[in-house]
């Protein structure tokens, strides 16, 4: 159960930023005892792997904070984030952590299950992120993009750490993320309705004159 929550948290984190959970898994696995990866996932701790992830993270960090560029980046990340989520869930499902000392045998014997599940979870979170960003850009004239992006990065780091150290809190963060998305979509719908009402009132005024 706990390994599933760890995988869920890391896959959700990858939906916000593809490279943060991968980097944390690799760094913590290489330099600490917080997570011990199974042999078939040890490549994530490799120095070259970590260097590549850091470079990609730097590009993502900049691109996601520039209006318009962030939209292009989201299109590209439609393929990257689900892949990262699958890798994160796959690695975590068989890893030992401070809370999971004996990973279940189901995921280790059906390795494709966590990879597919992680990809689907990350794709869903990515979809919410990509749908909400235009609302933020439109309502703040683009100034909100870097602020929200930084918040998403912090949330990705925090959720990744919680998933590894205290996975029982993962469900709480997933629910909060869903509530935030619901609120933003409701706000978007309200703004559209207000604009439609304003256009209708304006057209009625033209007709009266």
68: its two tokens = 């318009």
Q: Give the integer Cα–Cα distance in Å for 52 and 87.
A: 15
Q: Give the pLDDT score at 141.
A: 67
- Per DSSP, the residues of 132-184 read HHHHHHHHHTTTHHHHHHHHHHHHHHHHHHHHHH-GGGHHHHHHHHHHHHHHH
Count other C-beta atoms under 10 Å from residue 178's C-beta.
13
Q: Give the pLDDT score at 31.
A: 92
Q: Give the integer Cα–Cα distance in Å for 152 and 150.
A: 5
What digits encode the pLDDT tens for the residues 101-142?
666 664 555 676 778 888 888 888 888 887 777 777 777 766
Question: Helical H runs in 32-111?
Answer: 47-63, 69-93, 105-109
Q: Give the integer Cα–Cα distance in Å for 139 and 46.
A: 43
Q: Name the pTM for this structure.
A: 0.80
CB 133 within 8 A of CB 145: yes
How is the chain split into domains, by residue range?
A: 2-208
Q: Give the integer Cα–Cα distance in Å for 33 and 46.
A: 16
Torsion of CA 94, 87, 34, 56, to 10 degrees: 170
What digits encode the pLDDT tens for the residues 51-92?
999 999 999 999 888 888 888 888 888 889 999 999 998 888
What digits encode the pLDDT tens for the residues 138-171?
777 667 778 888 888 998 999 999 888 888 888 8
Q: Which phi and psi angles does 96 have, rounded to 5°?
A: -95, 135
Q: Give the pLDDT score at 128.
A: 81
Looking at the DSSP assignment, which residues form a beta bridge with residue 191? Answer: none
Count other C-beta atoms under 10 Å from residue 15's C-beta.
28
């Amino acid at each position: 159960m706990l390994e599933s929550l760890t995988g869920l948290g890391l896959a959700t984190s990858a939906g916000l930023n593809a490279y943060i959970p991968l980097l944390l898994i690799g760094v913590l696995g290489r330099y600490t005892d917080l997570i011990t990866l199974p042999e078939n996932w040890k490549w994530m701790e490799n120095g070259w792997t970590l260097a590549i992830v850091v470079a990609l993270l730097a590009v993502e960090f900049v691109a996601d904070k520039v209006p318009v560029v962030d939209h292009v980046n989201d299109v590209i990340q439609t393929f990257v984030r689900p892949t990262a989520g699958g890798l994160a869930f796959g690695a975590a499902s068989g890893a030992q952590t401070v809370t999971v000392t004996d990973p279940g045998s189901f995921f280790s014997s059906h390795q494709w299950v966590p990879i597919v599940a992680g990809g689907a979870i990350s794709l869903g979170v990515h979809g919410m992120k990509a749908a909400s960003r235009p609302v933020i850009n439109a309502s703040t004239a683009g100034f909100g993009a870097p602020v929200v992006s930084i918040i998403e990065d912090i949330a990705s780091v925090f959720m990744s750490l919680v998933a590894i150290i205290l996975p029982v809190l993962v469900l709480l963060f997933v629910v909060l993320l869903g509530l935030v998305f619901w609120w933003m979509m409701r706000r978007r719908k309200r703004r559209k309705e207000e604009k439609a009402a304003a256009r209708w009132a304006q057209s009625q005024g033209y007709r009266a004159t």
